[in-house]
Chains A and B, each alone.
Chain A
Amino acid sequence: MKVVLQNITKIFASRNKKVKDEVIAVNDFNLEIPDGKLVCLLGPSGCGKSTTLYMISGLQEPSSGKIFFGDDDVTKLSPENRGIGLVFQNYALYPHMTVQQNILFPLQNLKGENKLSKEEMLTRASEAAKLVQIEEFMDRKPSELSGGQQQRVAIARALVKMPRVLLLDEPLSNLDARLRLQTREEIRRIQRRTQITTIFVTHDQEEAMSISDYIVIMKLGVIMQTGKPQWVYDDPANLFVAKFLGAPPINVFTGKVENGKLYIGEECVLDVDGVEDQEVYVGIRPEGFILDKNGKLSTTLTGIDVMGRDISVVSTCESSLNPVVRSIISADEMGNIAGGSSGSSVDHTASADGAEQEKANEDVTVKFNLKPHKVLIFNKETEQRVYFGDQLAAHEQMIAEMEAEGQGYVTHNGPLPREADDVDKKATAPAPKKNIFVRAIDGIKGLFSKKKETAVSADSKAEMTENAPPAVDEAHVEPTAENIEQTAAVVEAMAPSPESAANEPAAATDAAPEVQSAPEAEQQSAPEDEQAATVSESEPVAVEEPVAAEEKPAKAPAKKPAAKKTTTTKKPATTAKKTTTTAKKSTTAKKTTATAAKKPAATAKKSTGTTAKKTTTTAKKPATAKKSTATTKKSTAAKTDKKD
């Protein structure tokens, strides 16, 4: 069953009635999903991908536009009349029914001529169970199954009524890393077997790349690009797509094109014939570097990571927008250059011994040549791709292939949708450093005022739901925890580049409704500068004291300094005690912030110190504590998949 979305727009009334009237979750969305294919809607949180899925399912109605299944206009049809199966993120298995009852449930709903006999139902149920390999669990309750098994039951329940379209809403996000890999293969297998048109929503680019026939990359309700995963990776239409796909992420530099030559900083790195002179962003995939002592791009070496067959050279460069430039060199190649690849200043041996390396590599310059097809140029203003050399031909060939396959090529050609913060970030690149903290504090304050009551009182359930914080908080807490480890690793190793610090404020403030929350926030393998940015969000643990201080500045002016210290250091640790994972996390988080903020944040640190003692009287504390527990809870689930 082909699925066509025509000019779909979805507008939500804003949760916060005072601030804005409405939020556009999905904006003029046009997409044709070919029959029998598995298509991924991919994008950061708040990009409208789930909303799109729910509109296809009929659970939400588009504000305007039409949806077709085949030739049928189903826009006005309610979900039960559309013939779809939907697998929810949390599976939504009925907890009081056995697996078999769960799978039978949709069949028992059939009425009239579609009504099945008991035997037929049982046969269909056992067939579906067999398909997803859960026959032996038929008499168990969902709570007695592992996450992966529950997942499969959910798929069986969706498949048993033989839907015309199967929809999956982030079905893997609740599984641990290993199960996730296994289950996605499973989904792929089932989809291939049944040939049911399947639409899959995820924010994990790796998942999307590995599973789907096509991916649709979205940002803020707009399609950025569609196509086969590899194509999109090789030939991104704009900077956002380039940054979103790929792990490790693409390295982005500021540069310019002059007289057919591409410059990064002062260095001319590549010939780009036929490109007009302009300011550009240069994206270079990690695998696009060639170590060469005569290379044209020079960077300062900060470390070498050995990852089995590959070696990743980590360095910094002034023009880089990422805190570090990460290049992946195959081990063989590395071996070849060993001994001879030194930079200009110091004699340096690029051995695989990272630890030794790090001691010696202060100010070591590494030089690279670039592989032209791994270098992507984007106009600085529009962030749209600028093709050079063979790239345009390759691009045109791709479009031709796509059309031959019956899949229209869609990209976003206008100016990219941006949030206010997004613009801000770019315009005021070297923002004053203490802004990070001021903003973080504001953000946290906002959280407090929202959460205070629920956290504080022994509420009834009813009350809790009434006051439940909007989903934003969850969405935007999650990435923090996820990214902490990565970022911590990065930041611990080196001092932050000025660019990364400059980018921080943007993420720190996003307290907008879900749809508006910074897209970067949730994106797992986001470019590193953005990950660094999220660190400031993870600060509640460390920053809570300043908040308290601001609340009651008059109280208890300077008592015993010694006492202060213990309080400050003790608190995060005690909070952490509750779960083992928490402990790990918050210490990391703390370290991260501390390191990241080393120089720029001297002021903020000071304030932390002076104010710590007043926590006794602050009414805000429990909220924070609660929040950080929530964070860690989430992260426990999300954590594992980051370990690869």
Chain B
Amino acid sequence: MTENMTENVKEQAVVSEQAAPQDNDIATADKVMKKRDIDAVSKKQLVVKIFVQIGLYIFLGIMALVVLFPFYWMLISSVKTTSEYNLSVPTLWPHQFQWSNYAKAFDADGLNLGQLFLNTCIVGIVSTLLSLIITVLAAFAFARLEFKGKNILFGALLATMMIPGELFTVTNYVTISDLEWQNTYTVLIVPFLVSVFYIYLLRQNFMQIPNELYLAAKVDGSSDFKYLWKVMIPLAAPTLVSITILKMMGAWNTYAWPNLVITDSAKQLITVGLRGHFTTEYGIPDFPAQMAAVVLVTIPLFLVFLFFRKYIMRGVSKSGLKG
């Protein structure tokens, strides 16, 4: 065995130069690595491994606390009495649960929370439904139908995604004034019905459906519309769910536009009403009631998130834009 080895090394002069130190290294490494050392090394690596894991969990735990703390604070503050809230040594758990804060939030002067909820729901549902229809139709046309200038048109649509929405807002504000849409639901719904991003998302999804299915349907003589309804939509259902939820969340969270165009508080959306009501110039705001209102606005979103976590995360990771 060893003879063979040395022969080999001799035969190949080139190698022997580089192989020789190599063998030495290994030999010394072997000598160093005695039985006891191996025990020590394996013990050490175990300790390091455990420490690293502990470190990771501590880091994540702290970060999770930071992330969760505002929610926690919101919840406990919403049931504290004002005097407890104002204690100089804050309490981490309310001494006394004052649920009437919620009633107060609902009945606060000038803040008709119920009406705001209703407004937001109407706007959210109507705009989501219309938006879905429009998006599906457009995405289908771009994905399956052939017409002149398709690619150019699609490219142009995509290009508009780069422009910040505020640029449109300026003129849209003028337009809706001209149309005298102020203080209607229409103004909250119509300008945002078309989302190029959703069209893009859905089109990509449609494109993945093999063309053969479409051709087969054509051969069978089914219409485009039937095909869209019976094949494409069921297949693209997950994306449609994502779009639906994101759109609803958008309606729930939108602030700037309704704040600009709705002056009648009876037609206002929840976010604007919430912020507007609790903006106090001076004096001590009633924080617990305010927090109760905030909880009421936040909870529906959490519920939606709980049920549609997967779809939300999928949609979000693609969009990068909130709402």
Chain A residues within an 8 Å CB radius of B25: 162
In the complex, which residues 162-201 of chain B have their Cβ closer than 8 Å to any Cβ of chain A? 201
Residue of B nearest to A455 (CB): B208
Contact A453 B238 (CB under 8 A): yes
CA gap between A559 and B216 in the complex, in Å: 13
B contact residues vs A (CB 8 Å cutoff): 1, 5, 8-9, 12, 15, 18-19, 22, 25-26, 29-30, 33, 35, 38, 41-42, 45-46, 49, 201-202, 204-205, 208-213, 215-217, 219-222, 227, 230-231, 234-239, 310, 313-314, 317-318
What are 27 sample pairs from A and B whose C-beta atoms fall under 8 A apart?
A: A36-B1, A36-B5, A70-B30, A71-B35, A72-B30, A77-B41, A78-B45, A81-B41, A131-B15, A193-B15, A193-B19, A195-B19, A453-B238, A457-B236, A458-B202, A458-B205, A460-B317, A463-B317, A567-B216, A570-B215, A570-B216, A571-B212, A571-B216, A616-B222, A619-B234, A619-B235, A622-B208
Q: A427 at the A/B interface (Cβ < 8 Å)?
A: no
Q: A566 at the A/B interface (Cβ < 8 Å)?
A: yes
**The 3 A-B residue pairs with the shortest CB-CB distance in the complex, in nearest-first order:** A458-B205, A457-B238, A76-B42
B278 to chain A minimum Cβ distance, whole angstroms, is 37
Residue of B nearest to A458 (CB): B205
Contact A575 B212 (CB under 8 A): yes
Contact A622 B210 (CB under 8 A): yes
Give 14 new A-B contacts, CB below 8 A, not counting A83-B29, A462-B314, A574-B215. Answer: A76-B42, A81-B41, A193-B8, A194-B22, A457-B205, A457-B314, A460-B317, A461-B317, A556-B220, A566-B219, A567-B216, A616-B230, A621-B213, A625-B210
Chain A residues within an 8 Å CB radius of B231: 616-617, 619
Q: A455-B208, A616-B213 are in contact. Are A559 and B318 (CB under 8 A)?
A: no
Chain A residues within an 8 Å CB radius of B18: 127, 131
Q: 1/0 contact trace for A604-639 toward B, CB 8 Å? A: 000000000101110101100100000000000000
Contact A613 B220 (CB under 8 A): yes
Chain B residues within an 8 Å CB radius of A460: 313-314, 317-318
Chain B residues within an 8 Å CB radius of A459: 238, 314
Q: A270 at the A/B interface (Cβ < 8 Å)?
A: no
Chain B residues within an 8 Å CB radius of A181: none
Residue of B nearest to A624 (CB): B210
Contact B317 A625 (CB under 8 A): no
A214 to chain B minimum Cβ distance, whole angstroms, is 14
Chain A residues within an 8 Å CB radius of B5: 36, 195
B140 to chain A minimum Cβ distance, whole angstroms, is 14
Q: A219 at the A/B interface (Cβ < 8 Å)?
A: no
The residue among B12, B22, B208, B212 with the most chain A CB atoms within 10 A of its own CB is: B212
B151 to chain A minimum Cβ distance, whole angstroms, is 19
B195 to chain A minimum Cβ distance, whole angstroms, is 15
B91 to chain A minimum Cβ distance, whole angstroms, is 40
CA gap between A566 and B219 in the complex, in Å: 8
The residue among A406, A461, A574 with the most chain B CB atoms within 10 A of its own CB is: A574
Q: A371 at the A/B interface (Cβ < 8 Å)?
A: no
Chain B residues within an 8 Å CB radius of A193: 8, 12, 15, 19
Which of B35, B202, B210, B313 touches A72 (beta carbons < 8 Å)? B35
Which of B26, B209, B216 touches A1 (beta carbons < 8 Å)? B26
Residue of B nearest to A127 (CB): B18
Contact A456 B22 (CB under 8 A): no
A542 to chain B minimum Cβ distance, whole angstroms, is 14
Chain A residues within an 8 Å CB radius of B35: 71-73
